[in-house]
A and B are shown apart, each in its own frame.
Chain A
Amino acid sequence: MLADLLNVIRRDLTIAFRHWSELVNPLVFFIIVATLFPLALSPDIAQLRDVGMGVLWVAALLSSILGLDGLFRSDTDDGSMEQLVLSPIPLSITVLGKTIAHWLVSGVPLVAVSPLVAMAFYLPMAAWDTLIIALLLATPTLSMLGAIGAALTVTLKRGGSILGLLILPLTGPVLIFGARATDLAAQGESPAGPLYLLAALAALAVSLGPLASAAALRVGLE
């Protein structure tokens, strides 16, 4: 089972690295959204520091969810999905592998540049480590949720616009616990509580999410 999972991850990573340009899109999206906020507010340091953490979380969330739109589309269009569904590997394992691969090439870079955005909003450096841990726990949940949306809309031509409508309302808890953890850290308090809750959400999403995505993908092929 683990070997199958690794096979799928390796497959998708190979494909992903063949077009570099698409890899950076979610990352650039994340940075641009974060950049727009100061323009809409003001360059005032105190104000930006107040809203910074929230902006960072919302931008990360939007970029993780909306970037997943095409996760299953190319496989469905070229017939690979039929082969994957009928192969001896359980479909939920395939879905899990594909989502993990996507997370590795989009979620992890996003986490890596997040201190940069935090810096731009004058957030205290003491909160950076918590920010990274919280994002590392939150982005897998977001990817799993986004994968469900991508699977539900895989046969629709204009999947992207409806994907946000379906999945964004479900991301509330991740946003609440993630922002809370970084907030506590910024105030010098222990962020352990919300971090545990984020981890619990991630465990739930990783175990149940692929089942839902797999069910939707099967319906898409029917």
Chain B
Amino acid sequence: MWRTLTLFFHQLASPPHFYRWSGLFAPWFAAVALVLITIGLYGGLLLAPPDYQQGEAFRIIYVHVPSAYLSMLSYVLMATAAAVGFIWRIKLAHAVAVSTAPIGASFTFLALVTGALWGKPMWGTYWQWGDARLVSELVLLFLFLGYMALHAAFEEQERGDRMSAVLAVVGVVNVPIIHYSVVWWATLHQGPSITENAISGAMLWPLLVMIAGYTFCFGWLLLLQLRSEVLEREAGARWTQRVLEASP
């Protein structure tokens, strides 16, 4: 049973196999993401009532919260894939880790920008050191950038994969420590933070739909990035040549 399962995964993880099935799945991810984000935006921007304290400004959460959620999900996914690649020497896992990093960094950046835009009407400034979540996001962005910089610094791809995998695992152990220490620090200094009111149903459902839509969008982006990463890594292989000849 275990043998069949590992065999199945090994086959699934073989680059030509992956390239074939990811090509079939990717458009569906894009379609589902488009539908969900359209519904979510309609619900969030038009149907949901304005917040009784924050007015219309609160609507930025429909972008901010899904981005922040995906930024953390990406880091965990990146570190997990890197660890799998490191331990079992699976090439595709390293490709997943490397492809996740720039997408994760983009979502982190989006979360920071939307957080700052949200902060302006709330605090009067774009940036508040007292907001632990934003500071944590900033550190997360640094961690993504460090991972990408380290990977890019190596000429030999395999060494770069394995070195940055170690960094990703070290990072993922540290992320909760950093987050809770920043939260602790922020509460000490009584900084202003965006208060979370209990969110009503009419406000909540578009948020959940947006999170789901963003997740599918993330999946779609990851598949696209991963496909080109795999092609690049397998540039010398025969199946790559066939793929390149077949495409116009």
Contact = CB atoms under 8 A, between A and B. Distances in A.
A and B touch in the complex (CB under 8 A): yes
Interface of A: 148, 152-153, 155-156, 162, 165-166, 168-170, 172-173, 176-177, 180, 197, 201, 204, 208, 212, 215-216, 219-220, 222
Interface string B12-42: 0000000000000000000000000000000
What 8 A-B pairs are tightest by C-beta distance, nearest first? Answer: A173-B181, A169-B142, A219-B162, A166-B146, A176-B185, A216-B166, A176-B181, A170-B174
A212 B181 contact: no
A148 B149 CA distance: 16
A62 B181 CA distance: 20
A216 B86 CA distance: 11
Contacts of A204: 177
Q: Tell me the dominant secondary structure on chain B's binding face.
A: helix
Given A169-B142, A170-B171, A212 B166 contact: yes
B163 A170 contact: no
Contacts of B142: 165, 168-169
Nearest to B161: A219
A219 B173 contact: no
Contacts of B169: 212
Interface residues of B, number: 28
A95 B182 CA distance: 30
Nearest to B145: A165
B167 interface: yes
Interface string B154-191: 10001100110011011101100110011011001000
B143 interface: yes
Contacts of B177: 173, 201, 204
Given A152-B166, A216-B166, A220-B159, 19 more contacts: A148-B167, A148-B170, A152-B150, A155-B159, A162-B149, A162-B150, A168-B142, A169-B146, A169-B178, A170-B143, A170-B170, A170-B178, A172-B182, A173-B174, A173-B177, A176-B182, A216-B163, A219-B162, A219-B166
A176 B184 contact: yes
Interface in B23-73: none
B13 to A, nearest CB: 21
Contact of A156 (B146, B154, B181, B182): B154
Contact of A222 (B143, B145, B162, B174): B162
The A contact surface, by secondary structure, is helix
Given A166-B146, A170-B170, A170-B174, A220 B182 contact: no
B167 A152 contact: yes
Contacts of B149: 162, 165-166
B153 interface: yes
Nearest to B164: A152
B139 interface: yes
Interface string B102-145: 00000000000000000000000000000000000001001101
Nearest to B177: A173
A156 B164 CA distance: 13
A212 B171 CA distance: 11
Given A212-B169, A219-B162, A173 B178 contact: yes
Interface string B181-203: 11011001000000000000000
Given A156-B154, A176-B184, A180-B185, A169 B143 contact: yes
A169 B169 CA distance: 14
22 contacts: A148-B166, A148-B167, A148-B170, A152-B163, A155-B154, A165-B149, A166-B146, A166-B149, A166-B167, A169-B142, A170-B143, A172-B178, A172-B182, A173-B174, A176-B182, A176-B184, A180-B185, A204-B177, A215-B166, A219-B163, A220-B159, A222-B158
Contacts of B158: 222
A219 B163 CA distance: 6
A212 B163 CA distance: 10
A156 B155 CA distance: 10
Contacts of B178: 169-170, 172-173
